[in-house]
Amino acid sequence: MDKYAVLGNPINHSRSPFIHTMFAEAESQNMEYGRLLCPLDDFKGTVDAFRKEGKGLNVTVPFKEQAFAYADILTDRAQRAGAVNTLKFCDDGSVIGDNTDGAGFIYDIKRLGWNFSGKNILVLGAGGAARGIIGSILDEKPESVLLVNRTIEKAELIKQSFNEINVTTYDGLLAEGRMFDVIVNATSLSLNGEVPRINESMYSNVLAYDLMYGKTGATVFTDYAMSNGAQEVSDGLGMLVGQAALSFNLWRGVAPDPAPVLKALRNQL
């Protein structure tokens, strides 16, 4: 039986085994998918050992940059993101590195019926999550993308890869006083029950998306956006299933339907 796993540290809470096991059943694929806890100082040794039997890995925090360095062949979107969330171990011994996070995000945006074309997009946060989605947002031909981060140097680093975007700090954003059509929360603040420090009037009539997800489909960010007049909001569970479907496709050559898995996962949270 072909073996796959999600590798990270920590990894206990990962929903990927649930998602991929459902995909495998739906697509009649003879495979198993587990969790692999990777020591912080031994990414290479852990992957080398898994590869002796395994066919592919999903890679999560904090190893996506190391997975990027590990791959022999990078897809264009992995190259642009500077990070890899999917490794495929090919029969000829080569390793393909892909990044399906951005495409998974856009899959979910389309599922929601949202459209970024011609829109002014505000992205909050400049960590790995933001870097993973910027290229895919730009592919949707928005009018503008402004990336805001507490630490301006990290936003400027992302701008080096994506010259079309503008970057500023939260103070800079306040001073500009601009309005946006879409606000994406790519900070980790929802984990602490906090919301980004932007003016609450900015949420009026926007589409607000949190890359984090919550049990009920809401997060502190989506609740805050909604109570300040957002038009529609979403948490990031659909993105999680969307990126998984694209990894599955790279490994198995079939494209599973994310919709029933998203429904089952939501009920299971």
> Which parts of this chain interact with ligand ATR (CB under 6 A)?
61, 125-130, 149-151, 154, 187-189
Nearer to ligand ATR, 31 or 211 (CB): 211
Nearer to ligand ATR, 82 or 125 (CB): 125
Min dist CB 91 to ligand ATR, Å, is 32
Contact at 8 Å (CB) between 137 and 145?
Answer: yes
Query: In sequence order, what are the residues at sequence separation of 6 or more whose Cβ sits closer than 8 angstroms to the Cβ of residue 96?
Result: 71, 72, 73, 74, 75, 87, 88, 90, 250
Which residue is at the shortest CB distance from ligand ATR? 127
Indicate the SS3 state at residue 5: strand
Quote the CA–CA distance of 140 and 146 in Å, as a whole number.
15
Min dist CB 189 to ligand ATR, Å, is 5
Half-sphere exposure of 168 (CA within 13 A, CB side): 14
Quote the CA–CA distance of 94 and 56 in Å, as a whole number.
12
Alpha-carbon dihedral sign for residues 116, 161, 104, 188: negative
Quote the CA–CA distance of 5 and 50 in Å, as a whole number.
9
Quote the CA–CA distance of 162 and 77 in Å, as a whole number.
12
Query: In sequence order, what are the residues at sequence separation of 6 or more whose Cβ sits closer than 8 angstroms to the Cβ of residue 28?
Result: none
Min dist CB 257 to ligand ATR, Å, is 27
Catalytic residue among 3, 55, 64, 159: 64
Nearer to ligand ATR, 22 or 241 (CB): 241
For the question of residue 64 being annotated catalytic, the response is yes
Nearer to ligand ATR, 15 or 154 (CB): 154
Nearer to ligand ATR, 125 or 258 (CB): 125
Min dist CB 208 to ligand ATR, Å, is 16
Min dist CB 152 to ligand ATR, Å, is 8
Indicate which residues carry an active-site annotation.
64
